[in-house]
Structure 1
Amino acid sequence: MKQTPNNMMLQTFMKLIAVVVFTFSIYIFLAGHNAPGGGFVGGLMTASAIVVLYLVFDLKSITKVIPLNFIMLIGLGLLFGAVTGVISVIFGYPFLTQFFDYFSFPIFGEVELTTALVFDLGVYLVVVGAALTIISTIAEDDDTWKS
């Protein structure tokens, strides 16, 4: 009779670590247009948080919890990036010209919003989609090879 190890403690810690990494990736993403970071680094950190969950749980469990089509995520990110550039051309500015303004929100107060954030969102989605497509493809191929 084959015994399976009890990974409850490992799974609990990895859930906590994944939440911390994901939260920090959102911070890096939001701070990226004014400080080092942005869509690329934030996307890699988000992908790494999901990969940590892939390592502890199996691929099928995580895809049930996160039912995203990562290829569609890449397309959506490319669309955000392209639209950001085209909007500046429509208004007569060079491609990917950044616009910004300050807006007042009830809870957050005065917040700077910029078109670079929308472009970074596109980069973020492309990086998360591409990294997780690669990882899940490798994991699926590895599972079929073992059986």
Structure 2
Amino acid sequence: MNKQRNDVILQFSTLVIFFIIIMFSLSIFLGGHYSPGGGFVGGLLVSGALLLILIAYDIKTLNQLLPIDFKIVIAWGLTFCFITPFIAVLKGDPFFKHYYGDLHLPVFGAIHWHTAMLFDLGVMLAVIGTCMTIILTIGENE
């Protein structure tokens, strides 16, 4: 009994839903230091989007799309989390003092930035790396 899988609808809708989830996680991440959200929730959403690709396709496809070791992503995230508080110390201010300003980008215009975003970026990378490492370790049965 040879069952052939037909996942065309799931795979097509995954591409659309993946884009929507990534955009929503970016919105949650960027608004995290002004409202609920931030790096942790944004990282969970990105991990969920990657998990959706893993379910719709397979591990080999995910590895072709993102040929990275998620343990390195954890290391980068922890590096951002560790370095961010020392920015203030290097400037002679109290530990973990935050700085803010405006960044002018050609397409986006003026973007308000905050050093809390660097810490949130570290948290986001650490969450993505941890979740995907756990999921891929459990999912590898070959």
Structure 2 length-normalised TM = 0.93
Aligned CA RMSD, in angstroms, stands at: 1.3
**Counterpart residue number, 1:119:** 119
> What does 1:76-91 align with in structure 2 at a 5 Å threshold?
76-91=76-91
**Counterpart residue number, 2:32:** 32
TM-aligned CA deviation for residue 103 of structure 1: 3.3
* Separation in 2, partners of 1:107, 1:10: 34
Q: Does 1:4 align with 2:8?
A: no
Q: Which runs of 4+ in 1 moved over 6 A?
A: none
TM-aligned CA deviation for residue 68 of structure 1: 1.4
Gapped runs of 5+ residues in structure 1? none
> SS of the residue aligned with 1:110?
strand
TM-aligned CA deviation for residue 86 of structure 1: 1.1
* Separation in 2, partners of 1:131, 1:111: 30
TM-aligned CA deviation for residue 71 of structure 1: 0.3
> What does 1:1-147 align with in structure 2 at a 5 Å threshold?
1-140=1-140, 143-144=141-142
> SS of the residue aligned with 1:33?
coil
Deviations 1:5-40 (A, max 9, x none): 211111111121111111111111111111111110
Residues 63 and 90 of structure 1: is their aligned pair in 2 closer, same or farther, counting only changes over 3 Å? same
* Separation in 2, partners of 1:9, 1:104: 41
TM-aligned CA deviation for residue 109 of structure 1: 2.9
Residues 22 and 103 of structure 1: is their aligned pair in 2 closer, same or farther, counting only changes over 3 Å? closer
Query: 2:96 corresponds to which letter in structure 1?
Result: L
- How many residues matched? 142
